[in-house]
Structure 1
């Protein structure tokens, strides 16, 4: 089985780029997290930095109940993005895997499996929070932004996806809650909760804003001998 990480990496990466698309430090003087996020989305062009991704769950019945959520999977690495439509989500530990969007396609490269999977970026990302990065419309056209509580030293903003009456079956995301944590004018965390109560937490560090990123940073050619899968 492919580490069961392909979906894990894809979920984190496309969702995490809500934060990256919102990364420009000119809203520190704005009190509301929702308005800060709006300003970030309007003004961010590029960013890179480090990430830690955690999948969390509540303790089971036979486990101590006072320990809070338990980390069941963790990865870490480096990210870079250029708006619109290009990013690299480079997982470095505990193993090497890359998720790359070049503006037209989404590529998952697994070094251990020597396998590259290609799929159309639009189809893979259209129904995810990454639409904030890849769309040119305002954030408020896709989400209702709701100022939330302050915790973990951050001001949290809830994102409620708006319904698209033209979409078949609606445009519902696989999460019951999407939240972004803001601190000192920067997005620092993304929290996703699904219908089963599983929690995905992405934290960012060492963010550099509006840096010069060459276009070939987002190119990927599978090495000779690699297995290549192309999904429509």
Structure 2
């Protein structure tokens, strides 16, 4: 399977932290309490021991619990969370995978989408210095079995710049955000998914 699904569901979340006139940790906390929707574009780079994979696309998030993550390059893949089910549609494989949203995101970073209390309940947060004009916040999971060593969220001024996720195998995923909109007006239908005719649908 392509290196993405886990990074996305991780990413689908803390991804949302672009805004307000505060620094670092305060900005993240204010986002968590105040922000209900966010959209934009992303470039995702996954560094593993064997290879580096770069993908890009667009995303949309609406709290509570709705998200859509569209990969457009170098292949097309869609991940939709409708509040109950996470749908993953791979166009090249003509295959859809469906999973329970609660079981899929658990207490991963994606859970921040569905539950505003998840940030402080599941992570220990701390400012993590600055580099190249970006201020970082580190989120370390309070539980040891989440699959992630740590997450770093970067802001350039008041704007979300990137997110870095290091998993338990040492793989590093960096997501760079552009064209951020923290006051999107969504058509709720974008958070619904109907499998196209003729594709295989797998339940997990």
What TM-score does the superposition give when structure 1 sets the normalisation length? 0.82
Match 1:228 to one of 195, 201, 204: 201
Counterpart Cα distance in 2 of 1:214 and 1:208: 15
Contact 2:124/2:140 (CA < 8 Å) preserved in 1?
A: yes
Change (3 A) 1:214 1:43: same
1:193 aligns to 2:166 (yes or no): yes
SS of corresponding position for 2:148:
coil
Query: CA shift at 1:75, angstroms?
Result: 0.3
SS of corresponding position for 1:176:
strand
- CA deviations 1:15-54 (Å, max 9, x no partner) are 113333434x22x2x23x1111000111111111100010
Q: CA RMSD in A?
A: 1.8
Instruction: Quote the residue 1:67 is aligned against.
Output: none
1:22 aligns to 2:17 (yes or no): yes
Larger-Rg structure? 1
For structure 2, the 5+ residue unaligned runs are none
Instruction: Quote the residue 1:13 is aligned against.
Output: 8
Instruction: Quote the residue 1:122 is aligned against.
Output: 102
Counterpart Cα distance in 1 of 2:60 and 2:100: 20
- CA deviations 1:158-214 (Å, max 9, x no partner) are 101224xxxxxxx62212121111112122211111334321111110011121111
Query: CA shift at 1:57, angstroms?
Result: 4.6
SS of corresponding position for 2:107:
coil
Instruction: Quote the residue 1:50 is aligned against.
Output: 41
Counterpart Cα distance in 2 of 1:195 and 1:118: 25
For structure 1, the 5+ residue unaligned runs are 61-70, 164-170
* Count of aligned positions: 204
Instruction: Quote the residue 1:168 is aligned against.
Output: none
Match 2:141 to one of 137, 161, 174: 161
1:139 aligns to 2:134 (yes or no): no
